[in-house]
Copies of this chain bind each other. A is one copy, B any other.
Amino acid sequence: MKNTLGSNVTITIFGESHGPAIGCVLDGLTPGLTVDEETIKSMLARRRPTSSIDTPRREPDNYRILSGVFNGKTTGTPLCIMIPNEETKSKDYNFGPARPSHADYAAHVKYNGFEDYRGGGHFSGRITAAIVAAGGVLIPALNELGIFIGTHINECVNVCDRDFGSSEKEILENIKKLNSKNFPVIDDDAAEKITAGIQEASKDLDSVGGIVKTAVVGLPAGVGEPWFDSLESLLSHALYSIGAVKGVEFGKGFEGSALRGSEFNDAFRKEGDRVVTATNNNGGINGGISNGMPVTFNVSVKPTPSIAKPQKTVNFLTGEEEELTIHGRHDPAIVRRICPVIDSITAIVIADALVTGFGPQVLLKGKALWNTDL
């Protein structure tokens, strides 16, 4: 479905980097969810470039809800959020030389030259603002149900952050802290070191990538479908829609492939009345379905393609090789800004999986619907 994601709770995105506006339409929302504009604003603020390690483009993100909210609550009919593009400098963009690692060339072939190439057009990371605004609608609803999502920079410029921790309680505390931090690391020392490393790359007219880690706590067991709508399928599908993502692994991921079954398997045990696992190498998902443990995954973010260093490329208008120097405003690293995007797209997937599994009222009624003893 191209620019639409989801089965029952769906998001449709639109917009280009330098067009009049970007935005999204959220459909299938439970009627009666409180729409908290402060959360939307603070989510957008977390994504917005602000620091010395981000692009100097300054978008105020003066979003407007065009439909689907009445008296501060969702109506259950489509919720459209529009975010005008206000600070566009289209003259910075040339048509012709394909920026390496960008969509320029592939898009040019696909769209036969009709693509809006300015600032990456529809492929621009700018569109993620619409995803984050949608996250700002859904995340408070999930929190009300006891479901919390957090993402931190796990590794960047060879600096590692502290782990989320192993107990659900500890993970939850770290999630809550992260959601109010401007620089999403658990260990504040790491923030300084990572910032320094990024600034260094920037001085070298270069960019860096990194690995971010996400945890979802509070998701009940039994969410997701076997095979083609496995929770891993749904999450990775959504995560890979973000252009810079080049790897997604759940639980122990690639590292787990070197273990033996007896080391990897997560033994079940009782914790009071609850069935839990002693370890969580499967990242909270068995056979595609949540098992009630925290859902954890790592996302590999490639270095930002736009660098100020001269690069070799081909100009697809002239058909000639040429040297390209990218001007314009770019992020030397997007690991910081990608965190609220991942939180948001995760929230959309989780909300959709919950509604598919338990019906549209679940986003209001939560436990009352997913408890098996209904």
Interface assignment of A303: CB less than 8 Å from any CB of chain B: yes
Interchain CB contact (< 8 A) of A369 among B64, B267, B307, B359: B359
Instruction: Check B206–A262 contact: CB distance below 8 A.
Output: yes
Task: Return the contact of A211 from the options B227, B257, B368, B372 (Cβ within 8 A).
Answer: B257
Contact between chains at A261 and B70 (CB < 8 Å): no
| Chain B residue contacts of A211, Cβ below 8 A | 254, 257
Q: How far is it, in angstroms, between the C-alpha of A2 and the C-alpha of B261 when the chains are bound?
A: 28
A16 within 8 A of B: yes
Minimum C-beta distance from A69 to chain B (A): 8
Oligomeric state, in copies:
4
**A residues 52-78 touching B (CB-CB < 8 Å):** 64-68, 70, 73-78
Provide the bound-state CA to CA distance between A325 and B264, in Å. 16
Note all chain B residues with C-beta closer than 8 A to A269: 312-314, 321
Q: In residues 173-195 of chain A, which contact B (Cβ within 8 Å)?
A: none
Q: Which of A38-46, A135-143, A276-284 interfaces with chain B?
A: A276-284
> Is A362 engaged at the interface, CB distance under 8 Å to the other chain?
yes
Of residues 199 to 228 in A, which have CB atoms within 8 Å of B's CB atoms?
201, 204, 206-211, 220-228
Decide if A115 touches B31 in the complex (CB within 8 Å): yes
Pick the residue among B77, B252, B267, B309 that contacts A3 (CB under 8 A): B77
B265 near A2: Cβ-Cβ < 8 Å: no
